[in-house]
Amino acid sequence: MGKSFPEPQGGGSLILAWQVKHRKVVVIGGGEVAAGRILNLLNADAKVTVISPRDGLNAEVAHRVERMQVQYVDRKFLSTDLDDPSISMVLVAIDDPEASTEIWQLCKERRIPANIADVPPECDFYFGSVHRDGPLQIMVSTNGNGPKMANIVRRRIAKSLPPNIGDAIAKVGELRKRLRVVAPGNGEGPKRMQWMSKVCVEWSLEDLCSMEEQDMDELLHSYRPNVVPTLEQVRRGEEPGKFEFDGSFGWACVI
């Protein structure tokens, strides 16, 4: 009794990291907006199919086609293009409002998630402004209200981040993988998560960035649930939980 809980704030979106790796995504259009969508999809390892007449391709999309980074269909969209049951999503970026709406309706009939560029009511999801640094991705969304504002906010956030945070995150990811080998089993899961959390909180960003292969091995060798040595202790080979006095008073004690 008496405990307060956050009040729901309607009008937002459920922001997710959508896994489209090896999944088929259809992009209809070949202009500047389509180029940005295609790059985002390729960064996510999706199988991209681009449908657009060749004279509608901008330089970047044409580059993707020439490098065979995407599957290309050289013509306007046909309703039969959506008959493939393996299609995971459709992105429409063409300068034809009526055709765009028709494609949206076809997607709804087939229950395929779709995004119609610059038409928020005809979108199952929105694209935000994304900052990328290795494994780190930060998305800022205005729920379709102000794409330029999202870009401004994203740049301000990115400027406040340390330049090496992507490297630190990559090393934490590698440490997590190795920890699963050291402490396998579902029963160890909560202990592993708690231990990794302590590493991220107690080690500085500089520590994580400077962590080397040998440091990881030594850290994992000393693994005990809820006990995390410092980087200095790891490099000196000290057991975690032991603290040494320097003898300033003529004696030393090990706890």
Q: Which residues are catalytic?
A: 118
User: Rounded to an integer, what distance in angstroms lies between the CA atom of residue 4 and that of residue 20?
Assistant: 38
**Residue with structure tokens 């780190």?**
136
What is the rounded distance in angstroms from the CA atom of residue 114 to the CA atom of residue 46?
15
Q: Biggest alpha carbon distance in the chain?
A: 87
CB atoms within 10 A of CB 189: 12
Contacts of 46 (CB under 8 A, 6+ apart): 20, 21, 22, 23, 24, 25, 88
Residue 87: φ, ψ to 5°: -65, 125
Task: Say whether 159 sits in a helix, a strand or coil.
Answer: helix
